[in-house]
Chains A and B, each alone.
Chain A
């Protein structure tokens, strides 16, 4: 029974942790399907985490936070778009530059506005996306198995997590069932074909950037106003890169990407649970090693299970008309 309780708790935190990962991975997926590699997901997430927390702290409304978070993320996405699409610059360098600039700018602004050493003030419950408890969750909690499933796993997440559950099929639908999706996938594979079909490559790619901006903005918002209660320095902690890895593991497809994110989320949840727990035979694993777990897993996955799979053929290559 204790094992079951553990499992329920693990699943619960998997969903929580996976939320920003899924959103960010989908952002990366939309970008790359449209032919732009975005290693700046990390920076976008961090920027929106800061913008959301700052705005929520000032206005007291998480929704104002979300708006600010999405806004900041879209701005950066457009900047990356300008560099990658209009200026035909190196997309990896652009992404790294954005990550580094944001890592500097966010704490600077936080310090300037709030004088708390690069953090935003702690957000009160009313300024956060607090957990939503489903009806009867508490009264059902004691019912064996079903109660735990309902009240622990299904109930008790913040609104963005529930939004994410809708967003995944939405992105898949957009990609495979709409005209826009067809064109987006085409532009990531063969932009010349899109161009000669009379569709603007530039516009399509910018649209992808904006969508990625929105998704990343939600991810950042959930970090600082849903899972956390305020912005702290470097709070994205490599999630943007993990999301990219999950996207590759998911072969640039929404549902497999979701599953990859859940795996990463699970490992992260597991490492949280393992901290300070003595395991049979091994004993207590030092916390630094459990922290490594998601990163090591990423490397193993990229090395072992993925191999050479076909990325969208045109991703990362600026489109130039003159050939």
Chain B
């Protein structure tokens, strides 16, 4: 390549213990281009980025920025060379204002007020150039996710970033916010910035980038010009085998509602309304998918259904029995006994006890069932036997239930959790983020399993932030925005655009109206 490279790495390697996270990665990013990096979860993208940003130091290999050898010891070094990064989890101090967050670490004066005024002047110019309009004096905790992301980008620009690394930037955005982001990325390129766009969503690569590098298992497996490749090719390269995905879905006749929510209102932990007049039915033999941008009430919905949160008004009935009203809450143990299973959306935070063995985790939630305990004493032998069975049937690796659950990979943890939840032949499965943090091989298996259960006549309620996933497995999709159900539609009628409008708070009426225009 003869063009000037903004970033180049040569044979970059990093290992953690026995794991080679990056194994001789060579990357060339042309100046003023948008360069995509794709790879599965765990392919080594994050490690690469962290080395480019000075968070990790490489074991071997070279990094060149604007043609010069660099060795970053910390992020400050990287920023001094014009490398800025927008992390997947925003690096923002919540109670601070946008302005305070932007100047943190780049204050022009030791007196805070002076530093703020200096920055304010500089930011007006920057905002104009890149079309930002941020509430500089608003605490970040009051802002929507998309706005926070723009604050992060502005922060990097303020600190003199010429090269901007965006790590999975769309994970938390609505489709419309994504579009805005893509626009911004184009604008950045027009203004001469270089953008490294890291994602595992292929259509985003196709929509935004000039070049793309595919990473698998710590190695570069392909470099392409975006214009000369396709989603299908990239997918194959990412996974290493042709992806064939077709799950036979049997059709059922109409059945009675297994789970029914009627005008449910509930508050979140801060006491604000999180669910507003939510009414939903889930029938036997169907998968009802819940779509929405994270934080729009999906978590609370899962919680009220599974007995973890009380409701302020309305009612929930399960298998014909009323299980929740403003004065009734049914505890999770009773609900499980009634035939409800729950795969928690945040596995490590809620679904397992990380520091306990897999064996101890297989009784979580079922620790009072008579086959696991008699007269208050645990039946350890039986529990060990069950654990071994689960490991066998789900093909969990390594095949040792005595290891701490936290030491298994995300996919294997999820297999253990699913084995635990389906063991008692539940009538309703409530599943949050079925494949979050799960490698692609296991994703397929989990999707198949969900479909099998559906085909077996179980009612399934699935919340996911991944629209592709919901489109693949659901019979109907309900969309949530700010605690309300903005629409429920059969999967045949659902496409990304319609769902996106509903996720942004539109209603089905004006969606159709728009289409008619």
Contact = CB atoms under 8 A, between A and B. Distances in A.
Interface of A: 176-183, 185-186, 189-190, 192-200, 313, 321
Contact of B111 (A177, A193, A195, A199): A177
Contacts of B106: 197
A179 B55 contact: no
Contacts of A189: 93-96
Contacts of B112: 176-179, 181-182
A35 to B, nearest CB: 12
A186 B104 contact: yes
A182 B91 contact: no
Question: Which of B75, B76, B93, B95 neighbours the largest number of chain A CB atoms within 10 Å of its CB?
Answer: B93
Question: Which of A179, A186, A192 neighbours the largest number of chain B CB atoms within 10 Å of its CB?
Answer: A179
Interface of B is mostly: loop
Contacts of A182: 96, 100, 103-104, 107, 112
B277 interface: no
Contacts of B55: 196, 321
Contacts of B79: 198
Question: Which of B103, B104, B106, B112 neighbours the largest number of chain A CB atoms within 10 Å of its CB?
Answer: B104
B110 A196 contact: no
Contacts of B77: 198
B244 to A, nearest CB: 35
Contacts of A179: 107, 109-112, 115
B12 interface: no
B75 A195 contact: yes
Contacts of B100: 182
A177 B113 contact: yes
A186 B75 contact: no
A192 B91 contact: yes
Given A179-B111, A180-B110, 9 more contacts: A179-B107, A182-B103, A182-B104, A193-B91, A193-B93, A196-B85, A197-B104, A197-B106, A198-B75
Interface in B83-97: 85, 87, 89, 91-96
A193 B104 CA distance: 9
A277 to B, nearest CB: 46
B97 to A, nearest CB: 11
B74 interface: yes
Contacts of B131: none
Question: Which of A176, A186, A189 neighbours the largest number of chain B CB atoms within 10 Å of its CB?
Answer: A186
B105 interface: yes
Contacts of B53: 196
A17 B105 CA distance: 40
A195 B77 CA distance: 12
B95 A194 contact: no
A133 B40 CA distance: 75
A246 B111 CA distance: 29
B93 A198 contact: no
B151 to A, nearest CB: 12
B346 to A, nearest CB: 15
Given A186-B93, A193-B91, A198-B76, A178 B105 contact: no
Nearest to B102: A197
A186 B91 contact: no
B225 to A, nearest CB: 32
Interface string B106-142: 1101111101000000000000000000000000000
Nearest to B113: A177
Contacts of A199: 76, 104-105
A199 B55 CA distance: 12
A189 B105 CA distance: 15
A198 B85 CA distance: 12
Contact of B105 (A176, A181, A185, A198): A198
Contacts, number: 71
A179 B115 CA distance: 8
A182 B53 CA distance: 23
12 contacts: A176-B112, A179-B112, A182-B96, A182-B112, A185-B93, A189-B93, A190-B94, A192-B89, A193-B104, A198-B77, A199-B104, A313-B94
A195 B54 CA distance: 11
Nearest to B91: A193
A285 to B, nearest CB: 41
A4 B110 CA distance: 47
Contacts of B91: 190, 192-193, 196-197
A112 B504 CA distance: 74
Closest 10 CB pairs of A and B: A198-B76, A197-B105, A193-B91, A179-B107, A196-B91, A179-B110, A186-B93, A189-B93, A190-B93, A198-B75
Contact of A183 (B104, B109, B113): B104
Contacts of B94: 189-190, 313
Contacts of A190: 91-94
Nearest to A176: B112
A261 to B, nearest CB: 24
Contacts of A313: 94
B75 A197 contact: yes
Question: Which of A195, A197, A313 neighbours the largest number of chain B CB atoms within 10 Å of its CB?
Answer: A197
Contact of A194 (B89, B104, B109): B104
Contacts of B89: 192
A186 B106 CA distance: 13
A178 B94 CA distance: 19
Contacts of A321: 55
B419 to A, nearest CB: 28
Question: Which of A181, A192, A196 neighbours the largest number of chain B CB atoms within 10 Å of its CB?
Answer: A196
B131 to A, nearest CB: 24
Contact of A196 (B75, B111, B115): B75
A185 B110 CA distance: 15
A182 B92 CA distance: 13
A186 B92 CA distance: 9
A303 B374 CA distance: 39
Interface in B489-512: none
A130 B396 CA distance: 74
A189 B140 CA distance: 13
Contacts of A183: 104-105
Nearest to A180: B110
A197 B90 CA distance: 12
Contacts of A192: 89, 91
Question: Which of A177, A192, A193, A195 neighbours the largest number of chain B CB atoms within 10 Å of its CB?
Answer: A193
A68 B207 CA distance: 67
A197 B94 CA distance: 15
Interface string B41-77: 0000000000001010000000000000000001111
Contacts of B105: 183, 194, 197-199
A183 B95 CA distance: 13
A317 to B, nearest CB: 15
A321 B79 CA distance: 18
Contacts of A180: 110
A185 B92 CA distance: 12
A273 B96 CA distance: 45
A178 B111 contact: yes
Contact of B74 (A185, A186, A193, A198): A198
A127 to B, nearest CB: 39
Contacts of B113: 177
B52 to A, nearest CB: 13
Nearest to A181: B112
A150 B109 CA distance: 41
A321 B109 CA distance: 28
Nearest to B110: A179
A323 to B, nearest CB: 9
A181 B85 CA distance: 25
B16 to A, nearest CB: 8
